């Protein structure tokens, strides 16, 4: 600039300076009133900037998570201690729940990962990534140790459980589809950058924060009241991360067993599970006629699954424009197109009106952005619909598979590893030295009601 001044006429330099100053004032707000020169020597106070939570504390959260997962696995498989899991639940509830306000949590982290995979411009926080992968990794080996005593949502519901009622199997299995649907919806809306619905509709975070939207505070209280009689309603019938954990736990290396060594078929644990995860031994091999019917039904259901998938995809495509409206930019663009010709509003403007004014200043940019988001939804919603169809199909298939189960066992996927059933097993009580070894044969004799099941001698 100074080099230029040396050979340009002075008035042009002055003009340039004026333009530059003008631009500067445009960019940083107009200085309509010049800041004063104080004669009293008044010092300007500095604008305070309280720091954000230190990054080191994020690593502390991750360390606590790993430690809690490890302790939970140890309590489930080595100590087989319900009491220990209760104390771990209390700790998790206090630390991850009431101290960390339930955020960041594994349930919500699904959305961070989904958005990171869909949008290269989004950098997923390291804590969110850790909270997503660690519980799933543990589930692949140790089942749902995360649900057992690490997740504050699960701990809260587990601790309020008072008199568990048995949910009828048809309802249990039917509602069991919901977490997968919720998971699909959460991924769809997160990946399109529309909303983190799993966080928005989280029923327990408002309780951890002691305040929030009336709707969600109410939902949280209702779920907790319900949770006194229905074990862990959110975990079983809503939690999207539970859906992922369930899949991982199904193929887990270790599984929760009621008995520490062998099963005497005493049936004392039959009604021990408040979460409907206890499975009876399979009733032998069906008759040939029944077997043929079962096989035919299975064949039809396997064939039905792709049909359901396609039907879901079709429905999804149909609802694509409606789903796109969840994104605020699409909503704004639609409102802008509707009111394009109406005169600008005056007077006190509502937030919506102010957003519309913003839209009017850069309409082209807004419409392009909205079109881009709609394109994402046009393939996202068919995928989501197809996912629902697939889940329903696979659920039907899994319900009609024949299980070779010889003992009373918790379902691999549904079991929260809460360790309640352990104390119902006489073998466990013998192991702990609470009962003499002779008690087992007595318990087995007492349970020798008309044998409804064919029981091979306790395997494994």
Contact region with other proteins (CB under 8 A), list: 10-18, 120-128, 372-380, 387-395 = 120-128
Question: Is 140 a residue that touches other proteins (CB under 8 A)?
Answer: yes
Q: How far is the CB of 393 from other proteins (least distance, A)?
A: 18
Q: How far apart are CA 6 and CA 1, in angstroms?
A: 9
Stretch 216-235 residues interacting with other proteins (CB under 8 A): none
Nearer to other proteins, 206 or 274 (CB): 206
Q: Which residue is associated with the tokens 């004799």? A: 445
Q: How far apart are CA 231 and CA 418, in angstroms?
A: 11
Stretch 323-362 residues interacting with other proteins (CB under 8 A): 328, 349-352, 354-355, 357-358
Helix (H/G/I), strand (E/B), else coil: 279: strand
Total residue count of the chain as it appears in this document: 460
Angle, CA 136 vertex, CA 132 and CA 170 arms, to 5°: 110
Question: Is 50 a residue that touches other proteins (CB under 8 A)?
Answer: yes
Looking at 39, 287, 341, 451, which residue binds other proteins (CB under 8 A)?
39
Residue 79, Cβ neighbours under 10 Å: how many?
A: 14
* DSSP bridge pairs for 410: 278
Stretch 400-459 residues interacting with other proteins (CB under 8 A): none
Nearer to other proteins, 133 or 446 (CB): 133
Nearer to other proteins, 103 or 181 (CB): 103
For residue 106, CA distances in Å to 60, 131, 210, 282 come to 16, 5, 20, 35
Looking at 68, 116, 243, 440, which residue binds other proteins (CB under 8 A)?
116
Looking at 91, 138, 182, 196, which residue binds other proteins (CB under 8 A)?
196
Structure tokens at 288: 């040939």
Question: Is 35 a residue that touches other proteins (CB under 8 A)?
Answer: yes
Q: How far is the CB of 49 from other proteins (least distance, A)?
A: 5
Contact region with other proteins (CB under 8 A), list: 37-45, 77-85, 160-168, 300-308 = 37-45
Question: Is 70 a residue that touches other proteins (CB under 8 A)?
Answer: no
- How far from chain centre, in Å, is Cα 139? 15
Binding characters for other proteins, 391-410, by CB under 8 A (x = yes): --------------------
Q: How far apart are CA 358 and CA 110, in angstroms?
A: 32
Q: How far is the CB of 223 from other proteins (least distance, A)?
A: 18
Question: Is 108 a residue that touches other proteins (CB under 8 A)?
Answer: yes
Stretch 244-303 residues interacting with other proteins (CB under 8 A): 247-248, 250-253
For residue 98, CA distances in Å to 128, 205, 210, 456 come to 18, 9, 9, 48
CB environment 313-349: b (16+ within 10 A), e (fewer): bebbbeebeebbebbebbbbbeebeeeeeeeeeeeee
Looking at 89, 112, 406, 427, which residue binds other proteins (CB under 8 A)?
112
Question: Is 46 a residue that touches other proteins (CB under 8 A)?
Answer: yes
């Amino acid at each position: 600039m100074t080099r230029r001044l040396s050979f340009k006429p002075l008035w042009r330099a002055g003009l340039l300076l004026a333009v530059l100053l003008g631009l500067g004032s445009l960019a940083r707000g107009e200085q309509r009133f010049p800041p004063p020169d104080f004669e009293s020597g008044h010092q300007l106070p500095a604008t305070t900037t309280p720091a954000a939570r230190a990054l080191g504390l994020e690593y502390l959260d991750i360390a606590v998570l790993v430690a809690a997962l490890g302790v939970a696995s140890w309590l489930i498989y080595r100590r087989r201690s319900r009491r220990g899991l209760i104390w771990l639940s209390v700790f998790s509830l206090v630390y991850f729940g009431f101290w960390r306000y339930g955020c960041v949590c594994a349930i919500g982290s699904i959305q961070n990962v989904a958005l990171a995979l869909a949008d290269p411009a989004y950098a997923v926080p390291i804590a969110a990534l850790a909270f997503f992968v660690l519980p799933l990794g543990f589930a692949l080996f140790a089942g749902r140790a995360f649900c057992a005593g690490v997740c504050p949502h699960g701990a809260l519901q587990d601790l309020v459980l008072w008199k568990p009622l048995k949910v009828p199997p048809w309802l249990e299995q039917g509602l069991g589809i919901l977490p997968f649907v919720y998971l699909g919806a959460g991924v769809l809306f997160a990946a399109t950058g529309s909303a983190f619905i799993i966080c928005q509709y989280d029923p327990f975070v408002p309780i951890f924060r002691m305040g929030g939207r009336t709707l969600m505070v109410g939902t949280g209280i209702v779920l907790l009241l319900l949770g006194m009689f229905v074990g862990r309603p959110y975990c079983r019938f809503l939690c999207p991360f539970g859906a992922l954990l369930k899949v991982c736990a199904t193929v887990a290396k270790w599984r929760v067993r009621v008995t520490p060594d062998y099963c005497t078929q005493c049936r004392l644990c039959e009604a021990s599970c408040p979460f409907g995860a206890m499975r009876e031994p399979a009733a032998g091999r069906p008759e040939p006629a029944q077997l043929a019917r079962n096989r035919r039904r299975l064949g039809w259901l396997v064939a039905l699954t792709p049909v359901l998938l396609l039907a879901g995809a079709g429905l999804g495509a149909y609802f694509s424009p409606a789903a796109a409206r969840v994104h605020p930019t699409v909503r704004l663009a639609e409102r802008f197109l509707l009111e394009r010709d109406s005169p600008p509003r005056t007077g006190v403007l509502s937030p919506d009106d102010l957003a519309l004014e913003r839209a009017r200043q850069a309409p082209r940019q807004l419409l392009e952005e909205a079109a881009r988001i709609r394109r994402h939804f046009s393939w996202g919603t068919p995928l989501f619909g197809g996912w629902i169809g697939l889940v329903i199909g696979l659920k039907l298939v899994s319900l009609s598979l024949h299980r070779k189960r010889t003992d009373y066992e918790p379902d691999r996927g549904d079991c929260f590893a809460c360790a309640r059933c352990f104390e119902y097993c006489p073998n466990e009580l013998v192991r702990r030295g609470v009962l003499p070894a002779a008690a087992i044969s007595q318990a087995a004799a007492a349970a020798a009601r008309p044998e409804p099941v064919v029981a091979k001698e306790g395997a494994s």
